[in-house]
Amino acid sequence: MENNKNILFADDEEKIRQVVTMYLKREGYQTETAVDGAEALRLFHQKNWDLIILDVMMPKMDGIKVCQEIRKTSAVPVIMLTARNDEIDRVLGLEMGADDYMGKPFSPRELVARVKAVLRRTGAAEKTAQTTLRLPGMAVNLITRKVTVLDQEIHLTPKEFDLLVLLARQPGRAFTREQLLENVWGIDYYGDLRTVDTHVKRLREKLRVTGAPSYINTVWGVGYKLEVKE
């Protein structure tokens, strides 16, 4: 099986690297591994990756810091792993731009399922027929995934982009957190509603350009909507 998707997997435990690599390659993914955060960041700069999997607790540089560095230049999908059942780790990972999160121990089959789901959602957005969504002061190119606000380019993570597109396709419509979670993360996502709040907060901050409207509004007791005034 060959699908030409390149995946970088960083974990300091050799056994986990071996097992996960075996499962990913069995599904046809081209997979390379890193033993610590510094090596992961070095390999990241050497190739165009389709997805990156990062363990949170790694020597030299932890996975959250690596994700933060990656997000400075790339919107490549990132899945975070952690051996600790720590809500702080989870929230920090999402704040840094991770697209999904799994706790250890985990099933390699479930991780592969998450990989497929993230890549499927990313690919579906790229294949949309409509090229650009236009709102007052904003342009969202659905092919290049480029967003501009008042002609200023805004760099979004894959999930932030998908969230913006969902809201921008139906301006004025109030979406519940459950609807946003299901439509953006998918029914196979195992997160909670705080994931939505975290991403909306980050998206709002990035869209906050001087002179631009306040695009995303909270609908108290319901969720969120995108609304602009001409």
Across 55-77, average pLDDT: 87
Domain ranges of the chain: 6-125, 128-226
Per CATH, domain 6-125 is 2.60.40.10: no
- Least confident residue range of 32-41, 129-138, 139-148, 152-161: 129-138
Task: Measure CA of the first residue to CA of the last residue in the chain; give whole Å.
Answer: 51
Bridge-based pairing of strands 216-219 and 223-226 is: antiparallel
Average pLDDT, the chain: 84
Q: Give yes or no for residue 188 having a pLDDT over 60.
A: no
Q: What is the pLDDT of residue 83?
A: 73
Q: Which long-range contacts (CB under 8 A, 24 or more apart) does 24-27 make?
A: 24/112, 24/115, 26/1, 27/1, 27/3, 27/112, 27/115, 27/116
Quick one: pLDDT band at residue 72, thresholds 50, 70, 90? confident
Across 167-174, average pLDDT: 88
Q: If you search the block for the tokens 């969504």, which residue do you land on?
A: 133
Q: What is the pLDDT of residue 190?
A: 59
Across 50-58, average pLDDT: 92
Q: What is the pLDDT of residue 216?
A: 92
Is the Cβ–Cβ distance between 33 and 15 less than 8 Å? no
Q: Which CATH number applies to 128-226?
A: 1.10.10.10
- Least confident residue range of 7-16, 21-30, 120-129, 167-176: 120-129
Residues 6+ apart with CB under 8 A from 178: 193
Q: Which helix (H) or strand (E) holds 31?
A: strand 30-34
How far apart (Å, rounded) are the C-alpha atoms in residues 135 and 67? 31
Residues 6+ apart with CB under 8 A from 68: 96, 97
Report the 10 Å Cβ neighbour count for 129. Answer: 6
Q: What is the pLDDT of residue 129?
A: 45
